[in-house]
Chains A and B, each alone.
Chain A
Amino acid sequence: MTVSERIDADFCVIGAGAGGAVVAAELAEGGASVVVLEQGPAHDPDSFSARPPEMLARLYRDGGQTATLGSPPILLPLGRGLGGTTLVNSGTCFRTPPRLLARWAAEFGLELDEASMRPCFERVERALSVSEVTPELAGANAAVARRGAERLGWSHGYLRRNARGCVGSGVCVFGCPTSAKQHTGITYIPRARAAGAQIVTGADVREILLERARASGVVARLANGQALEVRAPEVVIACGAIHTPLLLERNRLGGASGQRGRNLSLHPATAAFALMDEVVDMARGVPQSFYVDEFASEGIMLEGVAGPPAYAAMSLPLAGERHARAMAHYPRLAQFGLMVSDHSRGRVRSLAGRPLIRYDLCSEDLARFRAGLARLHELFLAAGAREVYLPLSEGVPPERARAADLTLMAFHPLGSARADARATHGVVDGDLAVHGVAGVHVADGSVVPSALGVNPQLTIMALATRLAFRLLGREVPGESHGSGPGRHHQDDEEAACHS
Protein backbone atom coordinates (compact mmCIF):
# COMPACT_ATOMS: atom_id res chain seq x y z
CA MET A 1 0.00 0.00 0.00
CA THR A 2 1.39 3.40 -0.95
CA VAL A 3 1.12 5.83 1.90
CA SER A 4 -0.50 9.09 0.82
CA GLU A 5 -0.63 10.86 4.16
CA ARG A 6 1.40 10.76 7.37
CA ILE A 7 0.49 12.00 10.83
CA ASP A 8 2.81 12.04 13.85
CA ALA A 9 1.37 11.44 17.30
CA ASP A 10 2.32 10.19 20.75
CA PHE A 11 -0.45 7.58 20.66
CA CYS A 12 -2.44 5.87 17.94
CA VAL A 13 -5.69 4.34 19.19
CA ILE A 14 -7.41 1.80 16.94
CA GLY A 15 -11.15 1.68 17.56
CA ALA A 16 -13.56 4.17 19.11
CA GLY A 17 -15.83 1.97 21.21
CA ALA A 18 -15.94 1.31 24.94
CA GLY A 19 -12.17 0.94 25.26
CA GLY A 20 -10.64 3.09 22.53
CA ALA A 21 -12.74 6.20 23.06
CA VAL A 22 -12.00 6.22 26.77
CA VAL A 23 -8.24 5.75 26.31
CA ALA A 24 -8.16 8.45 23.64
CA ALA A 25 -10.02 11.04 25.70
CA GLU A 26 -7.99 10.43 28.85
CA LEU A 27 -4.69 10.52 26.97
CA ALA A 28 -5.61 13.67 25.03
CA GLU A 29 -6.85 15.45 28.13
CA GLY A 30 -3.62 14.38 29.80
CA GLY A 31 -1.70 16.39 27.23
CA ALA A 32 -0.70 13.68 24.76
CA SER A 33 -1.16 13.97 21.02
CA VAL A 34 -3.58 11.26 19.93
CA VAL A 35 -4.92 9.90 16.66
CA VAL A 36 -7.98 7.64 16.74
CA LEU A 37 -8.57 5.36 13.76
CA GLU A 38 -12.10 3.99 13.56
CA GLN A 39 -13.10 1.55 10.86
CA GLY A 40 -16.78 2.53 10.89
CA PRO A 41 -18.50 5.86 10.29
CA ALA A 42 -19.69 8.65 12.56
CA HIS A 43 -23.45 8.23 12.92
CA ASP A 44 -25.75 11.23 12.75
CA PRO A 45 -28.67 10.76 15.17
CA ASP A 46 -30.84 12.66 12.68
CA SER A 47 -30.59 9.57 10.50
CA PHE A 48 -31.89 7.21 13.20
CA SER A 49 -35.28 5.93 12.06
CA ALA A 50 -36.36 3.69 14.98
CA ARG A 51 -36.97 1.00 12.37
CA PRO A 52 -35.08 -2.22 13.18
CA PRO A 53 -34.09 -3.60 9.76
CA GLU A 54 -32.68 -0.31 8.53
CA MET A 55 -30.87 0.41 11.80
CA LEU A 56 -29.44 -3.10 12.01
CA ALA A 57 -27.97 -2.59 8.55
CA ARG A 58 -26.53 0.81 9.38
CA LEU A 59 -25.31 0.62 12.98
CA TYR A 60 -24.12 -2.97 13.24
CA ARG A 61 -21.24 -4.91 11.77
CA ASP A 62 -22.49 -7.30 9.12
CA GLY A 63 -25.96 -5.80 9.43
CA GLY A 64 -26.22 -7.37 12.88
CA GLN A 65 -25.75 -10.83 11.40
CA THR A 66 -22.34 -11.78 12.74
CA ALA A 67 -22.78 -15.37 13.86
CA THR A 68 -20.84 -18.12 15.56
CA LEU A 69 -20.37 -21.57 14.08
CA GLY A 70 -21.12 -24.41 16.44
CA SER A 71 -23.91 -25.99 18.36
CA PRO A 72 -26.13 -24.08 18.34
CA PRO A 73 -25.20 -21.28 15.91
CA ILE A 74 -25.51 -17.97 17.77
CA LEU A 75 -26.07 -14.44 16.47
CA LEU A 76 -23.53 -12.05 17.97
CA PRO A 77 -24.50 -8.43 17.27
CA LEU A 78 -21.64 -5.93 17.31
CA GLY A 79 -21.77 -2.18 16.85
CA ARG A 80 -19.79 -0.36 14.21
CA GLY A 81 -18.73 3.26 14.12
CA LEU A 82 -17.93 5.99 16.63
CA GLY A 83 -19.18 4.57 19.92
CA GLY A 84 -18.76 0.96 18.81
CA THR A 85 -21.14 -1.38 20.57
CA THR A 86 -21.90 1.28 23.20
CA LEU A 87 -23.92 2.97 20.44
CA VAL A 88 -26.25 -0.02 20.18
CA ASN A 89 -26.21 -1.65 23.59
CA SER A 90 -28.92 -1.31 26.19
CA GLY A 91 -26.83 0.97 28.37
CA THR A 92 -26.71 -1.33 31.37
CA CYS A 93 -23.87 -0.52 33.76
CA PHE A 94 -22.49 -2.96 36.29
CA ARG A 95 -19.13 -2.71 37.98
CA THR A 96 -16.92 -5.78 37.81
CA PRO A 97 -18.02 -8.15 40.58
CA PRO A 98 -15.33 -7.84 43.31
CA ARG A 99 -14.97 -11.60 43.59
CA LEU A 100 -13.90 -11.68 39.95
CA LEU A 101 -11.25 -9.02 40.50
CA ALA A 102 -9.88 -11.14 43.33
CA ARG A 103 -9.95 -14.22 41.14
CA TRP A 104 -8.14 -12.46 38.30
CA ALA A 105 -5.47 -11.37 40.75
CA ALA A 106 -5.02 -14.90 42.09
CA GLU A 107 -5.36 -16.83 38.86
CA PHE A 108 -3.93 -14.47 36.25
CA GLY A 109 -1.56 -12.38 38.34
CA LEU A 110 -3.41 -9.15 37.59
CA GLU A 111 -2.94 -6.34 40.09
CA LEU A 112 -6.60 -5.50 40.27
CA ASP A 113 -8.76 -5.08 43.33
CA GLU A 114 -11.88 -3.23 44.32
CA ALA A 115 -10.03 -0.38 46.02
CA SER A 116 -7.64 0.34 43.15
CA MET A 117 -10.38 0.09 40.52
CA ARG A 118 -12.87 2.24 42.42
CA PRO A 119 -11.50 5.59 41.13
CA CYS A 120 -11.67 4.24 37.58
CA PHE A 121 -15.29 3.16 37.97
CA GLU A 122 -16.27 6.42 39.61
CA ARG A 123 -14.60 8.42 36.88
CA VAL A 124 -16.36 6.46 34.14
CA GLU A 125 -19.74 6.56 35.87
CA ARG A 126 -19.48 10.31 36.24
CA ALA A 127 -18.53 10.74 32.57
CA LEU A 128 -21.48 8.61 31.47
CA SER A 129 -24.07 10.02 33.90
CA VAL A 130 -24.79 6.54 35.26
CA SER A 131 -27.93 6.35 37.37
CA GLU A 132 -30.68 3.92 38.26
CA VAL A 133 -33.75 3.71 36.04
CA THR A 134 -36.92 4.92 37.75
CA PRO A 135 -39.97 2.63 37.82
CA GLU A 136 -41.94 5.17 35.76
CA LEU A 137 -39.33 5.23 33.02
CA ALA A 138 -38.89 1.46 33.13
CA GLY A 139 -42.44 1.01 31.87
CA ALA A 140 -45.00 -1.76 32.07
CA ASN A 141 -42.73 -4.51 30.71
CA ALA A 142 -40.47 -4.11 33.74
CA ALA A 143 -43.52 -3.90 36.01
CA VAL A 144 -44.59 -7.37 34.86
CA ALA A 145 -41.23 -8.87 35.76
CA ARG A 146 -41.15 -6.98 39.04
CA ARG A 147 -44.57 -8.30 40.01
CA GLY A 148 -43.47 -11.85 39.27
CA ALA A 149 -40.21 -11.49 41.18
CA GLU A 150 -41.96 -9.96 44.19
CA ARG A 151 -44.55 -12.72 44.33
CA LEU A 152 -41.80 -15.33 44.16
CA GLY A 153 -39.57 -13.51 46.63
CA TRP A 154 -36.70 -13.34 44.14
CA SER A 155 -33.95 -10.75 44.43
CA HIS A 156 -34.39 -8.01 41.86
CA GLY A 157 -33.89 -4.33 41.13
CA TYR A 158 -33.83 -1.55 38.59
CA LEU A 159 -30.70 -1.38 36.49
CA ARG A 160 -28.17 1.41 36.43
CA ARG A 161 -27.67 2.89 32.98
CA ASN A 162 -25.62 5.51 31.19
CA ALA A 163 -28.48 7.78 30.17
CA ARG A 164 -29.35 11.42 30.66
CA GLY A 165 -32.75 12.86 29.83
CA CYS A 166 -34.11 9.51 28.69
CA VAL A 167 -37.81 9.51 27.79
CA GLY A 168 -38.10 5.77 27.17
CA SER A 169 -38.13 5.70 23.37
CA GLY A 170 -37.73 1.92 23.51
CA VAL A 171 -35.11 1.59 20.79
CA CYS A 172 -31.75 1.74 22.63
CA VAL A 173 -30.35 -0.99 20.43
CA PHE A 174 -31.51 0.67 17.20
CA GLY A 175 -29.98 4.10 17.80
CA CYS A 176 -31.24 6.37 20.58
CA PRO A 177 -33.28 9.09 18.82
CA THR A 178 -33.00 11.51 21.75
CA SER A 179 -29.23 11.07 22.30
CA ALA A 180 -30.10 10.26 25.90
CA LYS A 181 -27.89 7.20 25.97
CA GLN A 182 -24.43 8.37 26.84
CA HIS A 183 -22.47 6.15 24.47
CA THR A 184 -18.81 6.88 23.95
CA GLY A 185 -19.50 8.48 20.55
CA ILE A 186 -21.20 11.42 22.27
CA THR A 187 -19.25 11.45 25.52
CA TYR A 188 -15.60 10.45 25.31
CA ILE A 189 -15.06 11.07 21.59
CA PRO A 190 -16.11 14.75 21.76
CA ARG A 191 -13.88 15.13 24.83
CA ALA A 192 -10.95 13.60 22.95
CA ARG A 193 -11.58 15.88 19.98
CA ALA A 194 -11.87 18.95 22.22
CA ALA A 195 -8.51 18.05 23.77
CA GLY A 196 -6.89 17.96 20.34
CA ALA A 197 -7.19 14.32 19.31
CA GLN A 198 -7.65 13.64 15.61
CA ILE A 199 -10.51 11.25 14.93
CA VAL A 200 -10.37 9.48 11.57
CA THR A 201 -13.39 7.40 10.56
CA GLY A 202 -13.48 4.88 7.74
CA ALA A 203 -9.91 3.89 8.59
CA ASP A 204 -9.27 0.16 8.27
CA VAL A 205 -5.99 -0.60 10.01
CA ARG A 206 -3.95 -3.06 8.02
CA GLU A 207 -0.52 -2.97 9.59
CA ILE A 208 1.13 -2.21 12.89
CA LEU A 209 4.62 -0.91 12.23
CA LEU A 210 7.47 -2.16 14.37
CA GLU A 211 11.10 -1.13 14.72
CA ARG A 212 13.34 -3.42 16.76
CA ALA A 213 10.39 -5.10 18.55
CA ARG A 214 8.81 -1.78 19.41
CA ALA A 215 5.74 -0.11 17.90
CA SER A 216 6.46 2.78 15.60
CA GLY A 217 3.08 3.36 14.03
CA VAL A 218 0.14 2.09 12.08
CA VAL A 219 -0.92 1.98 8.44
CA ALA A 220 -4.62 2.19 7.62
CA ARG A 221 -6.56 2.05 4.41
CA LEU A 222 -9.03 4.91 4.16
CA ALA A 223 -12.49 4.86 2.64
CA ASN A 224 -11.17 6.61 -0.47
CA GLY A 225 -8.69 3.80 -1.01
CA GLN A 226 -5.66 5.81 0.04
CA ALA A 227 -3.33 4.80 2.83
CA LEU A 228 -2.74 6.76 6.02
CA GLU A 229 0.34 6.21 8.15
CA VAL A 230 0.28 7.31 11.77
CA ARG A 231 3.78 7.46 13.23
CA ALA A 232 3.44 6.82 16.97
CA PRO A 233 5.62 5.03 19.51
CA GLU A 234 2.56 3.77 21.40
CA VAL A 235 -0.33 1.92 19.79
CA VAL A 236 -3.53 1.00 21.63
CA ILE A 237 -5.68 -1.66 19.95
CA ALA A 238 -9.37 -1.51 20.85
CA CYS A 239 -11.21 -3.32 18.07
CA GLY A 240 -13.23 -5.58 20.38
CA ALA A 241 -12.89 -9.23 21.28
CA ILE A 242 -13.73 -10.48 17.80
CA HIS A 243 -11.49 -8.22 15.71
CA THR A 244 -8.53 -7.48 18.01
CA PRO A 245 -7.16 -11.04 17.81
CA LEU A 246 -7.43 -10.88 14.03
CA LEU A 247 -5.42 -7.66 13.87
CA LEU A 248 -2.83 -9.17 16.21
CA GLU A 249 -2.72 -12.32 14.10
CA ARG A 250 -2.29 -10.39 10.87
CA ASN A 251 0.68 -8.60 12.41
CA ARG A 252 2.08 -11.73 14.09
CA LEU A 253 1.79 -10.19 17.54
CA GLY A 254 0.78 -11.74 20.86
CA GLY A 255 0.89 -15.28 19.59
CA ALA A 256 3.67 -16.77 21.71
CA SER A 257 1.40 -18.14 24.42
CA GLY A 258 -0.89 -19.82 21.91
CA GLN A 259 -3.82 -18.03 23.56
CA ARG A 260 -4.46 -15.41 20.89
CA GLY A 261 -8.03 -15.86 19.66
CA ARG A 262 -8.76 -18.55 22.25
CA ASN A 263 -10.73 -18.36 25.52
CA LEU A 264 -13.56 -16.49 23.84
CA SER A 265 -16.30 -16.02 26.36
CA LEU A 266 -19.79 -14.84 25.37
CA HIS A 267 -22.89 -14.19 27.32
CA PRO A 268 -25.26 -16.46 25.42
CA ALA A 269 -28.77 -15.21 25.91
CA THR A 270 -32.36 -15.81 25.00
CA ALA A 271 -35.74 -14.41 25.92
CA ALA A 272 -39.29 -15.51 26.59
CA PHE A 273 -42.55 -13.75 25.84
CA ALA A 274 -45.78 -13.76 27.80
CA LEU A 275 -49.32 -12.77 26.92
CA MET A 276 -50.67 -10.63 29.73
CA ASP A 277 -54.17 -9.37 30.55
CA GLU A 278 -52.96 -5.80 30.83
CA VAL A 279 -51.61 -3.54 28.13
CA VAL A 280 -47.79 -3.69 28.29
CA ASP A 281 -46.70 -1.81 25.16
CA MET A 282 -43.22 -3.19 25.67
CA ALA A 283 -41.52 -0.53 23.53
CA ARG A 284 -42.76 2.27 25.78
CA GLY A 285 -40.08 2.64 28.41
CA VAL A 286 -36.50 1.54 28.83
CA PRO A 287 -36.21 -1.96 27.30
CA GLN A 288 -33.47 -3.11 29.65
CA SER A 289 -34.39 -1.51 32.94
CA PHE A 290 -34.93 -4.31 35.40
CA TYR A 291 -33.04 -7.38 36.53
CA VAL A 292 -33.58 -10.49 38.63
CA ASP A 293 -30.32 -11.69 40.16
CA GLU A 294 -31.73 -14.42 42.39
CA PHE A 295 -29.82 -17.04 40.40
CA ALA A 296 -26.67 -15.08 39.65
CA SER A 297 -24.63 -17.46 41.80
CA GLU A 298 -25.63 -20.20 39.33
CA GLY A 299 -24.50 -18.06 36.39
CA ILE A 300 -28.05 -17.11 35.41
CA MET A 301 -29.03 -13.47 35.13
CA LEU A 302 -32.50 -12.37 34.10
CA GLU A 303 -32.64 -8.92 32.48
CA GLY A 304 -35.28 -6.92 30.67
CA VAL A 305 -35.49 -6.83 26.92
CA ALA A 306 -38.14 -5.39 24.63
CA GLY A 307 -38.63 -3.57 21.35
CA PRO A 308 -40.98 -2.43 18.63
CA PRO A 309 -43.18 -4.88 16.67
CA ALA A 310 -40.59 -5.73 14.01
CA TYR A 311 -38.08 -6.68 16.70
CA ALA A 312 -40.69 -8.62 18.68
CA ALA A 313 -41.89 -10.45 15.58
CA MET A 314 -38.35 -11.49 14.73
CA SER A 315 -37.70 -12.89 18.21
CA LEU A 316 -41.12 -14.30 19.10
CA PRO A 317 -40.54 -18.08 19.22
CA LEU A 318 -43.64 -19.09 17.29
CA ALA A 319 -44.42 -19.70 13.66
CA GLY A 320 -47.31 -19.53 11.23
CA GLU A 321 -50.80 -18.88 12.59
CA ARG A 322 -49.68 -18.99 16.21
CA HIS A 323 -47.14 -16.27 15.52
CA ALA A 324 -49.72 -14.09 13.78
CA ARG A 325 -52.23 -14.57 16.60
CA ALA A 326 -49.68 -13.67 19.26
CA MET A 327 -48.47 -10.63 17.31
CA ALA A 328 -52.06 -9.43 16.98
CA HIS A 329 -51.85 -9.05 20.76
CA TYR A 330 -48.50 -7.23 20.64
CA PRO A 331 -49.72 -4.49 23.00
CA ARG A 332 -50.29 -7.17 25.66
CA LEU A 333 -47.03 -9.04 25.10
CA ALA A 334 -44.28 -8.85 27.72
CA GLN A 335 -40.73 -10.05 27.23
CA PHE A 336 -37.85 -10.82 29.56
CA GLY A 337 -34.36 -12.11 28.86
CA LEU A 338 -32.01 -14.71 30.26
CA MET A 339 -28.24 -14.35 30.09
CA VAL A 340 -25.78 -17.08 31.05
CA SER A 341 -22.33 -16.48 32.48
CA ASP A 342 -20.73 -19.06 30.27
CA HIS A 343 -18.28 -21.83 30.95
CA SER A 344 -18.11 -22.62 27.24
CA ARG A 345 -15.10 -21.17 25.47
CA GLY A 346 -14.77 -20.41 21.81
CA ARG A 347 -12.12 -19.37 19.39
CA VAL A 348 -11.76 -16.58 16.83
CA ARG A 349 -9.68 -17.13 13.73
CA SER A 350 -9.27 -15.35 10.48
CA LEU A 351 -10.73 -16.79 7.30
CA ALA A 352 -9.89 -14.65 4.28
CA GLY A 353 -9.65 -11.65 6.56
CA ARG A 354 -13.03 -12.20 8.20
CA PRO A 355 -13.59 -13.59 11.68
CA LEU A 356 -14.47 -17.24 11.92
CA ILE A 357 -15.97 -17.72 15.37
CA ARG A 358 -16.27 -21.25 16.71
CA TYR A 359 -18.31 -21.63 19.86
CA ASP A 360 -20.13 -24.70 21.17
CA LEU A 361 -22.41 -24.55 24.15
CA CYS A 362 -21.05 -26.92 26.80
CA SER A 363 -23.24 -29.17 28.91
CA GLU A 364 -22.97 -26.95 32.00
CA ASP A 365 -24.24 -23.96 30.07
CA LEU A 366 -27.01 -26.01 28.50
CA ALA A 367 -28.06 -26.94 32.04
CA ARG A 368 -28.09 -23.24 32.93
CA PHE A 369 -30.39 -22.50 30.01
CA ARG A 370 -32.72 -25.31 31.01
CA ALA A 371 -32.89 -23.97 34.55
CA GLY A 372 -33.11 -20.36 33.42
CA LEU A 373 -35.95 -20.99 31.00
CA ALA A 374 -37.91 -22.86 33.66
CA ARG A 375 -37.48 -19.84 35.91
CA LEU A 376 -38.51 -17.37 33.23
CA HIS A 377 -41.65 -19.46 32.79
CA GLU A 378 -42.22 -19.39 36.55
CA LEU A 379 -41.62 -15.62 36.66
CA PHE A 380 -44.23 -14.90 34.02
CA LEU A 381 -46.79 -17.26 35.54
CA ALA A 382 -46.32 -15.60 38.91
CA ALA A 383 -46.87 -12.24 37.21
CA GLY A 384 -50.22 -13.47 35.90
CA ALA A 385 -49.36 -14.44 32.32
CA ARG A 386 -52.13 -16.08 30.29
CA GLU A 387 -49.62 -17.80 28.04
CA VAL A 388 -45.83 -18.06 28.06
CA TYR A 389 -43.80 -18.52 24.87
CA LEU A 390 -40.40 -20.07 25.54
CA PRO A 391 -37.66 -19.98 22.89
CA LEU A 392 -37.63 -23.73 22.37
CA SER A 393 -38.62 -26.11 19.62
CA GLU A 394 -42.34 -26.77 19.78
CA GLY A 395 -43.33 -29.24 22.46
CA VAL A 396 -39.91 -29.38 24.09
CA PRO A 397 -40.01 -28.65 27.83
CA PRO A 398 -37.05 -26.70 29.27
CA GLU A 399 -35.68 -29.69 31.19
CA ARG A 400 -35.42 -31.76 28.00
CA ALA A 401 -34.00 -29.05 25.75
CA ARG A 402 -30.93 -29.86 23.68
CA ALA A 403 -28.54 -27.23 22.42
CA ALA A 404 -30.15 -27.54 18.99
CA ASP A 405 -33.55 -26.69 20.48
CA LEU A 406 -32.37 -23.31 21.76
CA THR A 407 -32.66 -20.04 19.87
CA LEU A 408 -29.77 -17.98 21.17
CA MET A 409 -28.13 -14.66 20.68
CA ALA A 410 -24.96 -13.66 22.45
CA PHE A 411 -23.53 -10.42 23.71
CA HIS A 412 -20.38 -9.22 25.41
CA PRO A 413 -17.57 -11.19 23.73
CA LEU A 414 -14.57 -11.26 26.03
CA GLY A 415 -11.26 -12.99 26.61
CA SER A 416 -9.78 -13.59 23.15
CA ALA A 417 -6.57 -11.70 24.00
CA ARG A 418 -6.71 -12.39 27.68
CA ALA A 419 -4.57 -10.67 30.23
CA ASP A 420 -2.17 -12.79 32.22
CA ALA A 421 0.99 -11.60 33.93
CA ARG A 422 2.75 -14.69 32.54
CA ALA A 423 3.82 -14.45 28.91
CA THR A 424 3.26 -18.19 28.59
CA HIS A 425 -0.42 -17.91 29.52
CA GLY A 426 -1.76 -14.65 28.17
CA VAL A 427 -1.67 -12.29 25.20
CA VAL A 428 -1.25 -9.12 27.25
CA ASP A 429 0.25 -8.53 30.67
CA GLY A 430 -1.34 -6.94 33.72
CA ASP A 431 -0.74 -3.48 32.24
CA LEU A 432 -2.51 -4.61 29.05
CA ALA A 433 0.75 -4.48 27.08
CA VAL A 434 1.08 -7.19 24.43
CA HIS A 435 3.66 -9.75 25.56
CA GLY A 436 6.83 -9.82 23.51
CA VAL A 437 6.64 -6.38 21.95
CA ALA A 438 7.01 -2.87 23.35
CA GLY A 439 4.51 -0.09 22.83
CA VAL A 440 1.46 -2.15 21.82
CA HIS A 441 -1.45 -2.28 24.26
CA VAL A 442 -4.99 -3.66 24.12
CA ALA A 443 -7.98 -1.87 25.65
CA ASP A 444 -11.16 -3.76 24.94
CA GLY A 445 -13.13 -6.78 26.06
CA SER A 446 -10.59 -9.19 24.64
CA VAL A 447 -8.29 -8.68 27.65
CA VAL A 448 -10.97 -9.62 30.21
CA PRO A 449 -9.79 -13.06 31.32
CA SER A 450 -13.08 -14.71 32.23
CA ALA A 451 -16.83 -14.37 31.83
CA LEU A 452 -18.25 -11.52 33.90
CA GLY A 453 -21.84 -12.61 34.40
CA VAL A 454 -22.85 -8.96 34.04
CA ASN A 455 -22.81 -6.46 31.18
CA PRO A 456 -19.17 -5.54 30.59
CA GLN A 457 -19.04 -1.96 29.33
CA LEU A 458 -18.07 -0.45 32.70
CA THR A 459 -15.37 -3.07 33.18
CA ILE A 460 -13.90 -2.32 29.75
CA MET A 461 -14.06 1.43 30.30
CA ALA A 462 -12.57 1.22 33.78
CA LEU A 463 -9.69 -0.92 32.50
CA ALA A 464 -9.19 1.58 29.66
CA THR A 465 -9.12 4.44 32.16
CA ARG A 466 -6.51 2.61 34.20
CA LEU A 467 -4.44 1.95 31.09
CA ALA A 468 -4.58 5.59 29.95
CA PHE A 469 -3.34 6.89 33.26
CA ARG A 470 -0.58 4.29 33.38
CA LEU A 471 0.53 5.36 29.90
CA LEU A 472 0.55 8.95 31.11
CA GLY A 473 2.56 7.86 34.17
CA ARG A 474 -0.06 9.23 36.56
CA GLU A 475 -2.44 7.96 39.19
CA VAL A 476 -6.14 7.90 38.39
CA PRO A 477 -7.46 10.83 40.42
CA GLY A 478 -8.94 9.40 43.62
CA GLU A 479 -12.55 9.85 44.48
CA SER A 480 -14.58 8.84 47.50
CA HIS A 481 -13.64 5.71 49.40
CA GLY A 482 -17.20 4.59 50.15
CA SER A 483 -18.60 1.30 49.09
CA GLY A 484 -19.68 2.73 45.73
CA PRO A 485 -22.76 1.84 43.77
CA GLY A 486 -21.52 -1.45 42.37
CA ARG A 487 -23.85 -4.40 42.39
CA HIS A 488 -23.16 -7.11 44.90
CA HIS A 489 -23.79 -9.84 42.47
CA GLN A 490 -22.40 -13.23 43.43
CA ASP A 491 -20.65 -14.82 40.51
CA ASP A 492 -19.74 -18.42 40.44
CA GLU A 493 -16.22 -19.70 40.10
CA GLU A 494 -15.90 -21.51 36.87
CA ALA A 495 -13.80 -24.01 35.11
CA ALA A 496 -14.05 -23.30 31.43
CA CYS A 497 -14.93 -25.96 28.91
CA HIS A 498 -13.24 -25.21 25.62
CA SER A 499 -14.74 -25.72 22.22
Chain B
Amino acid sequence: MSSGLDSFLAGAPWPQRIGLRVLLALARRPRGALLLARVPLAEQAAFSTLVLGRYDDPAVAGALGWDAAAVVARGRALRRAEGRP
Protein backbone atom coordinates (compact mmCIF):
# COMPACT_ATOMS: atom_id res chain seq x y z
CA MET B 1 0.00 0.00 0.00
CA SER B 2 1.37 3.48 -0.85
CA SER B 3 2.32 5.76 2.03
CA GLY B 4 -0.24 8.32 0.80
CA LEU B 5 -3.03 5.77 0.90
CA ASP B 6 -1.83 4.54 4.26
CA SER B 7 -1.98 8.04 5.75
CA PHE B 8 -5.39 8.54 4.11
CA LEU B 9 -6.68 5.45 5.89
CA ALA B 10 -4.97 6.42 9.13
CA GLY B 11 -6.74 9.80 9.03
CA ALA B 12 -10.22 8.25 9.00
CA PRO B 13 -12.32 7.99 12.16
CA TRP B 14 -11.70 4.60 13.72
CA PRO B 15 -14.90 2.83 12.62
CA GLN B 16 -14.28 3.79 8.99
CA ARG B 17 -10.57 3.05 9.30
CA ILE B 18 -11.20 -0.49 10.45
CA GLY B 19 -14.03 -0.96 7.98
CA LEU B 20 -11.99 0.23 5.02
CA ARG B 21 -9.01 -1.93 5.93
CA VAL B 22 -11.28 -4.98 6.09
CA LEU B 23 -12.90 -4.06 2.76
CA LEU B 24 -9.53 -3.55 1.09
CA ALA B 25 -8.31 -6.90 2.37
CA LEU B 26 -11.43 -8.55 0.95
CA ALA B 27 -11.19 -6.72 -2.36
CA ARG B 28 -7.66 -8.03 -2.93
CA ARG B 29 -8.75 -11.66 -2.69
CA PRO B 30 -10.90 -13.38 -5.35
CA ARG B 31 -13.32 -14.91 -2.86
CA GLY B 32 -13.43 -11.68 -0.89
CA ALA B 33 -14.21 -9.73 -4.05
CA LEU B 34 -17.10 -12.08 -4.79
CA LEU B 35 -18.42 -11.48 -1.30
CA LEU B 36 -18.11 -7.73 -1.70
CA ALA B 37 -20.00 -7.82 -4.99
CA ARG B 38 -23.12 -8.67 -2.99
CA VAL B 39 -22.90 -5.37 -1.09
CA PRO B 40 -22.62 -2.60 -3.70
CA LEU B 41 -21.96 0.19 -1.20
CA ALA B 42 -19.07 -1.71 0.38
CA GLU B 43 -17.72 -2.74 -2.99
CA GLN B 44 -17.78 0.85 -4.17
CA ALA B 45 -16.00 2.09 -1.04
CA ALA B 46 -13.25 -0.50 -1.45
CA PHE B 47 -12.87 0.13 -5.16
CA SER B 48 -12.72 3.94 -4.77
CA THR B 49 -10.04 3.64 -2.13
CA LEU B 50 -7.98 1.19 -4.16
CA VAL B 51 -8.01 3.34 -7.28
CA LEU B 52 -7.25 6.45 -5.24
CA GLY B 53 -3.99 4.79 -4.28
CA ARG B 54 -3.31 3.25 -7.67
CA TYR B 55 -3.68 6.45 -9.68
CA ASP B 56 -1.72 8.44 -7.10
CA ASP B 57 1.36 6.47 -8.10
CA PRO B 58 3.59 8.98 -9.94
CA ALA B 59 4.31 6.47 -12.70
CA VAL B 60 0.61 5.80 -13.34
CA ALA B 61 -0.38 9.46 -13.06
CA GLY B 62 2.59 10.50 -15.21
CA ALA B 63 1.47 8.20 -17.99
CA LEU B 64 -1.83 10.10 -17.99
CA GLY B 65 -0.11 13.47 -18.20
CA TRP B 66 -0.16 14.49 -14.53
CA ASP B 67 3.11 15.34 -12.82
CA ALA B 68 2.43 16.32 -9.21
CA ALA B 69 6.10 17.04 -8.53
CA ALA B 70 6.23 19.53 -11.39
CA VAL B 71 3.06 21.26 -10.15
CA VAL B 72 4.56 21.57 -6.68
CA ALA B 73 7.93 22.78 -8.00
CA ARG B 74 6.24 25.46 -10.10
CA GLY B 75 4.24 26.55 -7.06
CA ARG B 76 7.33 26.83 -4.88
CA ALA B 77 9.21 28.77 -7.53
CA LEU B 78 6.31 31.19 -7.95
CA ARG B 79 5.95 31.70 -4.20
CA ARG B 80 9.64 32.39 -3.78
CA ALA B 81 9.89 34.65 -6.84
CA GLU B 82 6.88 36.74 -5.89
CA GLY B 83 7.23 36.63 -2.12
CA ARG B 84 3.92 34.86 -1.65
CA PRO B 85 3.15 33.28 1.74
Q: Which residues of A contact B (CB under 8 A)?
A: 45-46, 48-54, 56-58, 60, 62-67, 73, 165, 167, 169-171, 176-180, 186, 190, 281, 283, 308-316, 319, 323, 327, 330-331, 354, 393, 407
Residues of chain B contacted by A63 (CB below 8 angstroms): 7-12
Q: Judging by beta carbons under 8 Å apart, are B85 and A186 in contact?
A: yes
- Hey, what's the 0/1 contact readout for B45-79 against A, CB within 8 Å counting as 1? 00111011111100011001110110110111011
Q: Which residues of B contact A (CB under 8 A)?
A: 2-5, 7-13, 16, 40-41, 43-44, 47-49, 51-56, 60-61, 64-66, 68-69, 71-72, 74-76, 78-79, 82, 84-85
Task: State the Cβ distance, A130 to closest chain B Cβ, in Å.
Answer: 17
Majority-rule SS of B interface residues: helix
Q: Judging by beta carbons under 8 Å apart, are A45 and B7 in contact?
A: no
Distance of A188 Cα from B56 Cα, bound (Å): 33
Q: Which residue in chain B gives the minimum CB-CB distance to A327?
A: B55
Q: Which residue in chain B gives the minimum CB-CB distance to A281?
A: B65
Residues of chain B contacted by A73 (CB below 8 angstroms): 41
Most buried by A among B12, B56, B76: B56
Q: Judging by beta carbons under 8 Å apart, are B72 and A48 in contact?
A: yes
Most buried by B among A54, A176, A354: A54
Q: Judging by beta carbons under 8 Å apart, are B72 and A50 in contact?
A: yes
Q: Judging by beta carbons under 8 Å apart, are B5 and A53 in contact?
A: yes
Task: State the Cβ distance, A371 to closest chain B Cβ, in Å.
Answer: 24
Q: Judging by beta carbons under 8 Å apart, are A178 and B13 in contact?
A: no
Kindly list the 5 A-B residue pairs having the minimum CB-CB distance in the complex, ordered from nearest: A63-B11, A177-B75, A53-B4, A57-B11, A53-B8
Q: Which residue in chain B gives the minimum CB-CB distance to A393?
A: B40
Distance of A58 Cα from B71 Cα, bound (Å): 18
**B75 contact from A45, A56, A315, A331, Cβ within 8 A:** A45
**B84 contact from A165, A283, A330, A407, Cβ within 8 A:** A165
Q: Judging by beta carbons under 8 Å apart, are B52 and A314 in contact?
A: yes
Q: Judging by beta carbons under 8 Å apart, are A62 and B12 in contact?
A: yes
Q: Can you list 17 residue pairs at the A/B interface with Cβ under 8 Å?
A: A46-B76, A53-B4, A57-B10, A62-B12, A62-B13, A63-B10, A165-B82, A177-B72, A177-B75, A180-B84, A309-B61, A310-B51, A310-B52, A313-B52, A313-B54, A319-B44, A323-B47
Q: Which residue in chain B gives the minimum CB-CB distance to A279?
A: B65
Q: Judging by beta carbons under 8 Å apart, are A50 and B44 in contact?
A: no
